[in-house]
Amino acid sequence: MEYPIWQLTTLGGGFWIAVIATLHVYVAHFAVGGGLFLVLTERAAYKSNNIHLLEYAKKHTRFFLLLTMAFGGVSGVAIWLTVALLAPEATITLIHQFVFGWAAEWVCFLGEIVALIIYYYAWDSMDRRDHMIVGWLYFLFGWLSLFLINGIIGFMLTPGQWIETKSFWDGFFNPSFWPSLVFRSFFSAVCAGLFGFVTATRIKDEATRLRAVRVCSAWTVLGVLAVFLSGWWYVAAMPPEQYEMIVSKSNRVSDFMRYFWIFGAATLVGGLLLAVKTPRRMSFALALVVLVVGQGLFGSFEFIREAGRKPYLIWDTVYSSSILKARVPVINQNGAIASAKWAPPELADGVTEENAKIAGAFLFQLECSACHSIHGPMNEITSRTAQYDVDGMDAFLTGMGKLNKYMPPFIGTSEERMLLARYIAEDLNGHAPAESAEMPEMAEPPAAPFDPDTSEYVLVGWCARGTGFFAQNDKWTLLPPSNVIRAQLVLRDPSPERVMDGVTITYSIQADQDSPALTGTLEADTDAGRFEADVSIPPYAKGEYNPLPVVTLTAKDDSGAVLATTMLVAPTSDQMGCYNCHSGEMMQDGSGMASATVENILATHDRMNSTKLAQTKGVVQCVSCHDDSIQGVEGNADRPNLSAAIHGVHAVYMAGREADGSCLKCHPQSTLRGQHELLGFTCTDCHGEIEDMAVSLLKAERERGVPAADMLLARITPRTMTNAEAIKPRAPWVNQPDCLTCHVDFAPPEIDSAFNVWTEDADGLFSARRDDMDAMSCGACHGSPHAVYPASPRDNMQPMQYMGEAQALGANGTCTVCHVESMEDPVHHPGMGLD
Indicate the helix (H) or strand (E) that contains 141: helix 128-157
Cite the DSSP H helix spans in 67-127: 72-86, 88-97, 99-121
The band of 95, judged by pLDDT with boundaries at 50, 70 and 90, is very high
* Closest C-alpha among 263, 267, 243 to residue 253: 243
In a shared domain, residues 300 and 358: no
Q: What is the pLDDT of residue 555?
A: 97
Segment 320-344 shows an average pLDDT of 95
Q: What is the DSSP letter of 777?
A: B
Segment 524-548 shows an average pLDDT of 87
| 3-class SS letters over 190-240 | HHHHHHHHHHHCCCCCHHHHHHHHHHHHHHHHHHHHHHHHHHHHHHHCCCH
In the predicted model, is pLDDT for residue 720 greater than 70?
A: yes
In the predicted model, is pLDDT for residue 44 greater than 80?
A: yes
Structurally, how many domains does the chain consist of? 3
Inside any domain, residue 646: no
Inside any domain, residue 378: yes
Segment 379-404 shows an average pLDDT of 92
The band of 302, judged by pLDDT with boundaries at 50, 70 and 90, is confident
Indicate the helix (H) or strand (E) that contains 45: helix 15-48
* Closest C-alpha among 567, 531, 549, 552 to residue 800: 567
In the predicted model, is pLDDT for residue 813 greater than 90?
A: no
Mean pLDDT of the chain: 89
The bridge status of strand 518-525 relative to strand 530-536 is antiparallel
Inside any domain, residue 202: yes
In the predicted model, is pLDDT for residue 93 greater than 60?
A: yes
Inside any domain, residue 260: yes
∠370-376-377 over CA atoms, to 5°?
Answer: 90
In a shared domain, residues 509 and 536: yes
Inside any domain, residue 191: yes
Q: What is the pLDDT of residue 513?
A: 45
In a shared domain, residues 309 and 339: no
Compute CA distances 611 → 19, 47, 89, 459, 641, whole Å.
32, 59, 37, 50, 17
The band of 336, judged by pLDDT with boundaries at 50, 70 and 90, is very high
- 754 CB-side CA count, 13 A: 19
The band of 751, judged by pLDDT with boundaries at 50, 70 and 90, is confident
Q: Report the DSSP beta bridge partners of residue 462.
A: 486
Task: State how far the Cα of 386 lies from the Cα of 663, in Å rounded to an integer.
Answer: 23
The band of 678, judged by pLDDT with boundaries at 50, 70 and 90, is confident
Task: State how far the Cα of 725 lies from the Cα of 704, in Å rounded to an integer.
Answer: 16
The band of 516, judged by pLDDT with boundaries at 50, 70 and 90, is low
The band of 324, judged by pLDDT with boundaries at 50, 70 and 90, is very high
Task: State how far the Cα of 39 lies from the Cα of 16, in Å rounded to an integer.
Answer: 34
Q: What is the pLDDT of residue 358?
A: 97
In the predicted model, is pLDDT for residue 327 greater than 80?
A: yes
Inside any domain, residue 347: yes
Q: What is the pLDDT of residue 664?
A: 79
Q: Indicate if the alpha-carbon torsion angle 311, 316, 317, 323 is positive or negative.
A: positive
In a shared domain, residues 294 and 188: yes
Burial zone of 350 (CB within 10 Å; 0-12 exposed, 13-18 middle, 19+ buried): exposed
Q: What is the pLDDT of residue 437?
A: 61
Inside any domain, residue 806: no
In a shared domain, residues 363 and 310: no
Kindly report the CATH number assigned to the domain that includes residue 370: 1.10.760
In a shared domain, residues 74 and 26: yes
> For residue range 416-429, what is the model confidence (pLDDT) as tens digits?
999 999 999 999 99
In the predicted model, is pLDDT for residue 250 greater than 70?
A: no
In a shared domain, residues 43 and 118: yes
Q: 346 or 482: which carries more pLDDT confidence? A: 346
Compute CA distances 118 → 62, 112, 115, whole Å.
12, 10, 5
Q: What is the pLDDT of residue 277?
A: 64
Last residue of a domain, one of 573, 590, 605: 573
Last residue of a domain, one of 522, 549, 573: 573
In a shared domain, residues 247 and 393: no
> For residue range 616-669, what is the model confidence (pLDDT) as tens digits?
988 999 999 999 988 889 888 899 999 999 999 999 999 998 877 778 788 887
In a shared domain, residues 297 and 389: no
Last residue of a domain, one of 314, 344, 370: 314
Which residue range is the domain that position 409 belongs to?
330-428
In the predicted model, is pLDDT for residue 401 greater than 80?
A: yes
The CB-based long-range contact list for 194-197 (8 Å cut-off, 24+ gap) reads 194/220, 194/267, 194/290, 194/291, 194/294, 194/295, 195/30, 195/34, 195/63, 195/67, 195/291, 196/34, 196/37, 196/60, 197/274, 197/282, 197/287, 197/290, 197/291
In a shared domain, residues 525 and 393: no
Kindly report the CATH number assigned to the domain that includes residue 558: 2.60.40.10
Segment 529-551 shows an average pLDDT of 86
**Best-predicted range by mean pLDDT among 658-662, 735-739, 827-831?**
735-739
Inside any domain, residue 125: yes
The band of 248, judged by pLDDT with boundaries at 50, 70 and 90, is low
In a shared domain, residues 224 and 364: no
Task: State how far the Cα of 460 lies from the Cα of 457, in Å rounded to an integer.
Answer: 10
In a shared domain, residues 61 and 134: yes
Kindly report the CATH number assigned to the domain that includes residue 180: 1.20.1630
Task: State how far the Cα of 774 lies from the Cα of 682, in Å rounded to an integer.
Answer: 30
